[in-house]
Amino acid sequence: MTRTDYKNAVELLKKYAYHYYVLDDPITTDEEYDILYHQVVAYESEYPADIISDSPTQRVGDVPQDKFDKAQHLSRMWSLEDLFNREELETWVNRITKVYGDVRFYCEPKFDGASLNLIYDNGALVQAITRGDGVEGEDVTQNAKTIQSIPLSIDYMGRIEIRGEVVIFKEDFEKINEERLKSGESLFANPRNAAAGSLRQLDTRITASRRLVFMPYGIGANTLEIKNLSQRMEWVYALGFRNPHMTHLCESAEDIERFYHEMRVERDNFAMLLDGMVIKVDSIAVQDELGYTVKNPRWAAAYKFPAIEKLTTLREVILQVGRSGVVTPVAIVEPVDIEGVTVERSTLHNFDEIERKDIRIGDKVIILRSGDVIPKIVKVIASERTGSEQIIPRPAQCPVCGSELLDEGALIKCQNMGCEARVVNSIIYFASKQCLNIDGLGDKIVEALHSAGLVHEVSDLFDLNMDQLLSLEGFKEKKSSNLIDAIAAAKGCDCWRFINALGIEHIGEVASKTLCTAFGTAFDTATHEEILALEGFGKEMVESILEFVRVNQSKIENLRNILQPVAPVKVEASENPFKGKSVVITGSMSVPRDHIKAMLEVLGAKVASSVSKKTDYVVYGEDAGSKYDKAVELGVPLLTESEFRALTALPDSTSAAEGTAVKVKNSLFD
């Protein structure tokens, strides 16, 4: 790549990002973007002096900051006067129109996030400051640069402040909390808190991972000659910022009220949370004449949506068992109306959250409902306690089947394969590609079999007959015959597939293979000490296995008798560059990655799922993504598929990888 090619590539990446993050209109595939991005990374690594300041690679810093420095805004960031009903709106509008006559009002969504002030100078983003007290905030420039919807440069050479709200999409907020739940971290109460917390991370890589979005709402210090706010905002959007689209110029209080109700109707359709509508005088000259009170501009107000937080009483807690066996506590509260919806239930997430917030039955609690987000308890009013409140105990038995529960703190799970609450999901997993790989036994067919009462646990699959299947809607003779044959073909499976298919918490393919290598098909007879001694096995994994065996011993034995799984034959790999090495595979190959994985395992390599300092090689194909980037960052040797084959003396063809690991072994060592 020449320097000219590099410059063109950077411009193209910026164009791709603008269409994806700002316009929500992708013009290329993720694969094409990643390929070009890696080419730019490679060039910049070789020629660091040529790095363009607003290259997409410059959005994420490498070294966490020690603290955030204080910084002053060029002009004050004001808070807004709140309006809550039609009467207050008319009073506010009349106060302006009685002096200035016919005035137009610019109305826009009020996003519920964290305010941020961007300062551009000579076309470049030079500083990003949180609101703080309105005069002084915290300098979060490096974090702001990770937000893809904030341009690193704009086509304007003057000094200017662009102000907006940093938000998190509702969908991303739920994903963040799911990840925090899995890792045992406390959950964010709402997207606003998540946005504010993410913006103030000392490690910019965490901020970058949170998919923050910047929604501009105004301009601070500037030398623009554009006379109306509506035109100024169109100018801002043209610089490369996101446009909220639902904006309107209103002529009167009646017009404002009508548009307000339109926005309330559309509220749940927005990707991010709204808590109201902002009304501003459109004329900049009139704004200047109206001026400010001690706290607020006289020319702007927030017309708030009805409260979505209400006070109620926690009556009881019931337990729900999900299809994966996870037990979730659900709060039953005194019915309360929130925006026309009667709320009687609220998620409590998990028992660690209950203990962290000290939630008790009988407590007065604040419940939050945000659009289509599930209602949740955000705060306990401890000062209202009478002493009659009851502590919520952690369950020890499954509320559905009565089996012993696996309690790991944030996660409490029923591992009984026959539990009615989780049987469908157990069978789906059992038949999946990474387990028994039963062709034709997909989600809908499993659900149909269960609904018809033909399967109540995994072993029932092997008792199905033609007459039973033909009685189901959509099942013809050929389809039924094929399914019965596919189920029968699962017999004689590899030992690791048998263990993996059981669905033991924390035990995936790699751990299943380790168990098979150590104990064969009799893994359930191993002791705590024997399993703990295996490489890669920690306390949680061991306890999960032993608890699963206690609950399902007879079912394991029954399935073992039915399937007759085959224990692995221990064959020492010949000496080769990959024997005993840790290898990660990423990207698209000329053959399925499972084939590459099988080759490596026969060569004696340990195939890992993530890149670390202990990784010896990363074998990559097209669309390599973050694992490739991590390998570059850590200096882990990278191999293309062709280079990998060359090191193993494998021909560069699909046929060499086809079939089972035995065929791979033959192609390698015969």
Contact 493, 462 (CB under 8 A): no
- Helix, coil or strand: residue 299: coil
Contact 119, 74 (CB under 8 A): yes
Give whole-number Cα distances, 577 to 272, 587, 631, 658, 664, in Å.
Answer: 51, 21, 18, 22, 16
Active site residue 110: yes
C-alpha triplet 24, 29, 30: angle, nearest 5°: 90
- Helix, coil or strand: residue 414: strand
Dig out the tokens for 222 from the structure: 């500037």
Contact 649, 670 (CB under 8 A): no
Residue appearing with tokens 């040797």: 637
Give whole-number Cα distances, 555 to 326, 453, 460, in Å.
Answer: 20, 19, 11
Which segments within 78-212 are labelled E, that is strand?
A: 81-83, 105-111, 114-121, 124-130, 136-138, 160-167
- How crowded is residue 310: how many other Cβ atoms within 10 Å of its Cβ? 17
Distance CA 265, CA 261 (A): 6
Q: How far apart are the first and last CA of the chain?
A: 42
Contact 397, 416 (CB under 8 A): no
Q: For residue 194, how far is the Cα from the chain centroid?
A: 13
Contacts of 116 (CB under 8 A, 6+ apart): 128, 129, 130, 131, 140, 144, 163, 164, 165, 166, 199, 214
Q: Which long-range contacts (CB under 8 A, 24 or more apart) does 487-491 make?
A: 487/438, 487/441, 487/461, 487/462, 488/462, 489/438, 490/436, 490/437, 490/438, 490/563, 491/562, 491/563, 491/564
Distance CA 146, CA 162 (A): 17
The residue type found at 459 is S
Contact 204, 146 (CB under 8 A): yes
User: Closest Cα to residue 357, out of 329, 338, 326?
Assistant: 329
C-alpha triplet 349, 355, 357: angle, nearest 5°: 80
Using DSSP bridges, classify how beta strands 124-130 and 114-121 pair: parallel, antiparallel or unpaired.
antiparallel
Dig out the tokens for 368 from the structure: 């939050």
Annotated catalytic residue within 110, 145, 357, 376: 110
Distance CA 267, CA 200 (A): 27
Positive/negative CA dihedral, 653, 658, 661, 663? negative
Dig out the tokens for 317 from the structure: 């807690």
- Helix, coil or strand: residue 160: strand
H/E element, 434:
none
Give whole-number Cα distances, 422 to 266, 407, 447, in Å.
Answer: 37, 17, 12
Using DSSP bridges, classify how beta strands 213-219 and 70-72 pair: parallel, antiparallel or unpaired.
unpaired
Dig out the tokens for 422 from the structure: 């989780």
The residue type found at 277 is M
Residues catalogued as catalytic: 110
